[in-house]
């Protein structure tokens, strides 16, 4: 083991991204809270929010509303920053008598080396960024929006606070079969009234499990001992709940990380706005725990033991003091603010959520017309689906012509044998039919329904879908564009104008009055235009003040409406169809 680790250490480039947090005190305010002017808890919290611009000063590490002593505590990397902080706080209207400035030690984002086991909280993950290998700790398994996966640190991805599809491996990058997941959620940062800083509530991202990877929801690796550096796994902790509400200082919490193993200690600071040293990152409302931490522990699950191996999940560790004396974590409530609701324990969502949708290319056909139905089947997961069958029996009023199912669709029964559909995959079937005679004026409904699958479907409300057609009445008839004519006129320095005259005919090519034509200009002109045909079946639209630099413009007929006739673009007689280009004069 030791020789192997030495060889790996020689191979791995370890990058440390430094962050500071800590407390070694040098007070600039009163030694206790009794003489401060911070006011009540609400006012103190308001001061903490108002004080956020102090993070614009290089070297400010955190701001903490210390309710016990009624003080706003500001952490800095050295005492020499105290005056600059005081001046900024004065500008922000915060009385210095209610402020304590303390010197702090650094925390680091860390990536280093260690062995680990199969995917569960507390074990090693590896990824690549810029050609370098990084190692972190897997946070905890979860289900997000029906997708099975796990939570990691955002800084343990290629681009922090951005979805980049980072692949995570376990225990190492090779072979490629070690792939366990890829990042699918990592929300952007937001502005929080601090110049030059980007903020978020947690350093968390979400991975979707790789194909065929199986995990146990709520499982966290349990080393043989606590606070003794042991990395040997003796079993597992089981998450049975999540921390609710604000955390309380003094609460004893645990973490399991791939470098220092299982460590335990009290919360020393809660809901602390924490600046990341020498970066533009500010994490809001983080908690500090006085317990051991080391390189590679980034991402460790943080939890409270409730009984035996049952634990309550508190969050995910993202940093620690440079001397390993304490760590910082993002609370689970903050993680779900960023990532959305997560299922982290109990029975995971299983089965395949199959959904079907239905569409038709022409909802107002005439008797004898050809129409095409499209059936779309989607597997929303989380599991792959097998033995899937969809039934789409064509209704009376339409007759089957063809389909693109390659033999998977049986017209006589309407059965589409889909077979296997992987999680996230969509299958489609198109069915071409003709509208029967003696159906004018009827509304015909075609329905597709999922009738079989090899897995449980957790949501059956999306297992059926319909598409309607309303057959044009025989007495109604159709109309089309019989002619498009364009003309143009110069307007001097103001440009030029283009006019298009539209002629509308019915099915017998007779002129149609009172038809409303709607269209749009493009390629040098813009906007929409509408006109209504007169007794000669014609109307005109004009685009004015076209730039003299434009050699032509285009007008397209989008729709034609009439009280008794239906527009059929396919019957348009004009050589240009429904579009005409008008040249500059």
CATH of the domain at 423: 2.60.40.1530
In three-state secondary structure terms, 85 is helix
d(CA 30, CA 247): 26
d(CA 301, CA 263): 11
- Contact 106/276 with Cβ under 8 angstroms? no
283: nearest Cα among 295, 275, 291, 293: 275
Q: Which of 81, 104, 127 is the last residue of a domain?
A: 104
In a domain, residue 400? The reply is yes
In a domain, residue 377? The reply is yes
Half-sphere exposure of 237 (CA within 13 A, CB side): 32
Dihedral sign for Cα atoms in the order 216, 218, 220, 224: negative
Distances in whole angstroms, Cα of residue 62 to Cα of each of 118, 153, 373, 405:
36, 20, 60, 62
* 6 contacts: CB under 8 Å, gap ≥ 6: none
- pLDDT given for residue 476 in this prediction: 66
In a domain, residue 168? The reply is yes
Say whether both 289 and 381 belong to one domain.
no
Asked whether the predicted pLDDT for residue 26 surpasses 50, the reply is no
Asked whether the predicted pLDDT for residue 32 surpasses 60, the reply is no
Q: Tell me, what DSSP letter sits at residue 146? A: T
Say whether both 362 and 464 belong to one domain.
yes
Say whether both 88 and 141 belong to one domain.
no
Asked whether the predicted pLDDT for residue 10 surpasses 60, the reply is no
- Segment among 36-40, 259-263, 349-353 with least mean pLDDT: 36-40
- pLDDT given for residue 293 in this prediction: 95
- pLDDT given for residue 95 in this prediction: 95
In a domain, residue 3? The reply is no
Distances in whole angstroms, Cα of residue 54 to Cα of each of 51, 86, 331, 339, 387:
6, 9, 23, 28, 61
Say whether both 187 and 235 belong to one domain.
no
Say whether both 399 and 434 belong to one domain.
yes
pLDDT band per the 50, 70, 90 thresholds, residue 118: low
Name the domain count of the chain.
Answer: 5
Say whether both 274 and 186 belong to one domain.
no
- Contact 263/292 with Cβ under 8 angstroms? yes
Rounded average pLDDT over 27-31: 31
Rounded average pLDDT over 511-532: 95
Say whether both 485 and 464 belong to one domain.
no
In a domain, residue 447? The reply is yes
Give 422-479 pLDDT, tens digit per residue: 988 999 999 999 999 999 889 999 999 999 999 988 888 999 999 999 998 765 688 9
In a domain, residue 4? The reply is no
- pLDDT given for residue 348 in this prediction: 59
Say whether both 496 and 520 belong to one domain.
yes
Say whether both 50 and 148 belong to one domain.
no
pLDDT band per the 50, 70, 90 thresholds, residue 117: low
pLDDT band per the 50, 70, 90 thresholds, residue 40: low
Asked whether the predicted pLDDT for residue 38 surpasses 70, the reply is no
Say whether both 453 and 360 belong to one domain.
yes
Give 142-173 pLDDT, tens digit per residue: 999 888 999 999 999 999 999 999 999 998 88
Say whether both 463 and 359 belong to one domain.
yes
Q: Is the link from the previous residue into 129 a cis peptide, with omega within 30 of 0? A: no
Q: Could you tell me the residue range of the domain that residue 373 belongs to?
A: 352-470
* 575 contacts: CB under 8 Å, gap ≥ 6: none
Say whether both 38 and 81 belong to one domain.
yes
Q: Say which CATH number the domain at 283 has.
A: 2.40.10.10
Q: DSSP letters along 519-558, please?
A: EEEESS--SEEEEE--TTSEEEEEEEEE-TT-SEEEEEEE
d(CA 328, CA 331): 10
Q: Which of 161, 181, 209 is the last residue of a domain?
A: 209
d(CA 555, CA 502): 11
Q: Say which CATH number the domain at 179 has.
A: 2.40.10
Asked whether the predicted pLDDT for residue 18 surpasses 60, the reply is no
* 111 contacts: CB under 8 Å, gap ≥ 6: 14, 15, 16, 134, 135, 136, 156, 295, 296, 298
- Contact 346/379 with Cβ under 8 angstroms? no
Q: Which of 454, 470, 486 is the last residue of a domain?
A: 470
446: nearest Cα among 430, 431, 466: 466
- Contact 398/470 with Cβ under 8 angstroms? no
């Amino acid at each position: 083991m030791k020789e192997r680790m030495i060889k790996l250490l020689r191979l791995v480039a370890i990058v440390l991204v430094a962050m500071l947090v800590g407390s070694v005190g040098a007070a600039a305010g009163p030694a206790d809270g009794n003489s401060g002017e911070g006011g009540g808890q609400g006012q103190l919290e308001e001061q903490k929010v108002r004080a956020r611009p102090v993070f614009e000063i290089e070297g400010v590490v955190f701001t903490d509303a210390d309710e016990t002593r009624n003080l706003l505590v500001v952490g800095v990397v050295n005492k020499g920053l105290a005056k600059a902080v005081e001046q900024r706080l004065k500008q922000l209207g915060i009385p210095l008598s209610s402020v304590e400035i303390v010197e702090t030690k650094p925390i680091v984002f860390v990536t280093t080396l260690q062995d680990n086991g199969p995917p569960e909280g507390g074990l090693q993950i590896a990824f690549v960024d810029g050609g370098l290998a990084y190692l972190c700790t897997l946070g905890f398994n979860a289900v997000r929006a029906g997708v099975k996966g796990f939570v990691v640190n955002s800084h343990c991805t290629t681009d922090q606070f951005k979805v980049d599809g980072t692949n995570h491996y376990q225990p190492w990058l090779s072979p490629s079969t070690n792939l366990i997941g890829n990042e699918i959620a990592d929300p952007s940062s937001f502005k929080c009234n601090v110049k030059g800083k980007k903020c978020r509530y947690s350093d968390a991202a979400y991975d979707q499990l790789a194909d065929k990877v199986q995990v146990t929801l709520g499982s966290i690796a349990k080393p043989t001992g606590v606070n003794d550096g042991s990395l040997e796994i003796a079993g597992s902790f089981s998450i049975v709940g999540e921390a609710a509400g604000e955390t309380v200082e003094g609460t004893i919490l645990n973490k399991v990380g791939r470098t220092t193993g299982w460590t335990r200690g009290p919360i020393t600071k809660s809901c602390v706005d924490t600046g990341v040293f020498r970066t533009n990152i500010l994490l809001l409302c983080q908690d500090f725990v006085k317990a051991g931490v080391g390189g590679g522990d980034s991402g460790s699950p943080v939890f409270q033991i409730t009984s035996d191996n049952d634990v309550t999940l508190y969050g995910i560790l993202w940093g620690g003091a440079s001397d390993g004396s304490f760590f910082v974590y993002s609370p689970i409530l903050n993680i779900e603010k960023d990532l959305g609701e997560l299922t982290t324990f109990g029975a995971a969502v299983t089965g395949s959520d199959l959904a079907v949708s239905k569409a038709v290319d022409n909802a107002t056909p005439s008797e004898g017309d050809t129409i095409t139905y499209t059936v779309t089947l989607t597997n929303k997961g989380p599991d792959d689906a097998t033995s899937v069958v969809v039934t789409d029996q064509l209704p009376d009023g339409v007759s089957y012509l063809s389909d693109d199912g390659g033999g998977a669709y049986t017209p006589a029964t309407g059965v589409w044998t889909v077979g296997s559909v992987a999680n996230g995959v969509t299958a489609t079937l198109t069915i071409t039919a003709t509208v029967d005679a003696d159906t004018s004026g009827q509304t015909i409904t075609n329905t597709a329904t999922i009738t079989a699958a090899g897995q449980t479907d957790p949501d059956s409300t999306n297992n059926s879908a319909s598409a309607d057609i309303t057959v044009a009445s025989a007495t109604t008839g159709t109309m089309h564009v019989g002619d498009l004519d364009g003309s143009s006129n110069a307007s001097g320095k103001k440009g030029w104008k283009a006019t298009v005259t539209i002629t509308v005919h019915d099915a017998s090519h007779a002129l149609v009055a009172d038809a409303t034509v709607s269209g749009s200009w493009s390629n040098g002109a813009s906007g929409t235009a509408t006109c209504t045909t007169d007794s000669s079946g014609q109307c005109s639209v004009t685009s004015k003040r076209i730039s003299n630099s434009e050699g032509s413009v285009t007008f397209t007929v989008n729709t034609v409406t009439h009280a008794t006739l239906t527009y059929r673009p396919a019957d348009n007689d004009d050589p240009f169809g429904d579009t005409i280009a008008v040249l500059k004069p």
